[in-house]
Each structure stands twice: as structure tokens, then as C-alpha cells.
Amino acid sequence: MKQQYLFEDKAEFLSKLQELKDKGISRKAVTILIPYPLHEVEDIWHPAPSPLRVFTLFGALAGLLTGFAFTIYTAKDWPLITGGKPIVSIPPFIIISFALTILFGALVSFAGFLILTKLPNIRAMMEPEEYGNQFAILINNEE
């Protein structure tokens, strides 16, 4: 069973949204379509933190490990002995590791963004019905 609520007034929309939350309707069953961003909706629903930060963490750690592995492998494979200094010296390798940490973190974050938003799926981005300047609450109880 699908229910649809349309509002012209922001206050009525927010009160109905609060009422639906108080009734215990699942957040996954509700689709909210609004003509402009409303921070009050976030205050009512309290969205979960984005899982994108996990992608960024793993990308950054992979970049850090790749940076150190690449530089240590290169120094061991083609040793350049200068002035009795150690072949594997961590301070000069930090620069390359830092750069790869930022690079891999950004690339994996972008890939995670595409995965989490299911892009590039054009049909999933477009709603079949247009509501104009109205506030719409769509409830799908068929789950």
C-alpha cells in the first residue's frame, strides 16, 4: 500500500513528518521530496552517518602502505649508498607515502561515492512524477 501526502506549507509538512516518525514508521519506507533543502528534516529523522568515510579510510591506509612499500622496494632493489647513511631511511619516504595517502583516499572515496549512490543509473535518479514546489511525503508499506 502506497500513501502520498502533498503540502504547500512547510509547517504542515514538518508536523506531518514528525507525526509519521512518532507513529514508528521506518525511515526506509518513507521518501521525502522537497523543493529546497530543509535542515528541520534532518533534525526530525536524524540520518545515519555516511559509510563513505570507511571507503576513505581504507583508501588512505592502502595509499600509505603502498607509498612505503614502493619506496622501500625501490631502495632495496637499487641501493644508492651515500655517506654511510642507511639504505632504508623512513623520513624521505614520508613525502611519497603522504602523497599516495591523499591520492588513494580521494580516488577510493570517489569510487565509494559512485558505488553508494548506484551511479551512473539515470533511471534511479529521476522520479517518475514531478511535484513542483510542493513538499511530498511518499510512504511505501510494501516492504
Please give the mean pLDDT across all residues of the chain: 89
Average pLDDT over residues 9-24: 91
- What confidence tens digit (pLDDT) does each residue in 85-131 have? 888 989 989 999 999 999 999 999 999 999 998 877 777 666 667 77
CA angle (81, 85, 87) in 5-degree steps: 60
The predicted model scores a pTM of: 0.70
**Predicted local distance difference test score (pLDDT) of residue 60:** 98
Interatomic CA distance for residues 19 and 25, integer angstroms: 9
DSSP 1-27: -EEEEEESSHHHHHHHHHHHHHHT--G
- Domain borders along the chain are 2-49+127-140, 52-116
- State the cell numbers at 88: 632504508
